[in-house]
Copies of this chain bind each other. A is one copy, B any other.
Amino acid sequence: MPEKPLLSELIDSLRCLPGVGPKSAQRMAFHILQRDRAGGARLAAVLAEAVQSIGHCRLCRTLTEDEVCGLCSNAGRDDSVLCVVENPSDVIALEQATGFRGRYFVLGGRLSPLDGIGPTELGIGLLRQRLEELSPRELILATTTTVEGEATAHYIGELAQERGISITRIAHGVPLGGELEFVDGGTLAHAFAGRRRLAPD
């Protein structure tokens, strides 16, 4: 008899998933074993292959199982605009919500010297190289508005400025449909200070 039943082992392993506690893990394990063994088998196979073979795109550092990701290898994208984001999930969010047709660069984090995350960890060397190769007209900074995100944006902005590239930052403010009274103070102050003239323009 094994030291630990396989079922407990499975429940334990499921807890590596974010937001999954002991109760959810147990529910997931029983669901798979009692109702969806085929789905479980497929998940096991895909997951094993994914952790094994998904790496980073050689050009933009997003997650992909190919050497160059689908977006970078797409010849129809506009080389003259480069959008810098923190995470691969940001690329998906922008692709789904915007009509952006340019290139991306994924930092994989933000500058945080205390956590040992410096320019090397964010692939700034590769970003320089991409700026040389693409020589974009515009660099869009889409990092977060945390202190580290702003520092990262500032750092990359300077890098681009040296090359005479025009730099933009995505707008931060009150979300669409957001009631002013429920928006946090920081966002509201930011939105107020960053107000735009409508007329006469």
Could you list which residues of chain A lie within 8 angstroms of chain B, going by C-beta atoms?
Answer: 1-2, 5-7, 9-10, 13-14, 16-19, 24, 26-34, 36-37, 39-54, 63-66, 70, 87-89, 92, 108
A32 contacts which of B30, B47, B70, B89 (Cβ < 8 Å)?
B47
A2 proximity list for chain B (CB < 8 A): 65
Beta-carbon nearest neighbor of A66 in chain B: B1
CB pair A16 B1 closer than 8 Å: no
Q: How far is the CB of A107 from chain B (nearest CB, A)?
A: 12
Q: Tell whether, in the assembled complex, residue A32 and residue B51 are in contact, meaning their CB atoms are under 8 Å apart.
A: yes
Report B-chain residues with C-beta under 8 Å of the C-beta of A48: 41, 44-45, 48
Q: Among B7, B17, B44, B51, which residue has its beta carbon within 8 angstroms of that of A63? A: B7
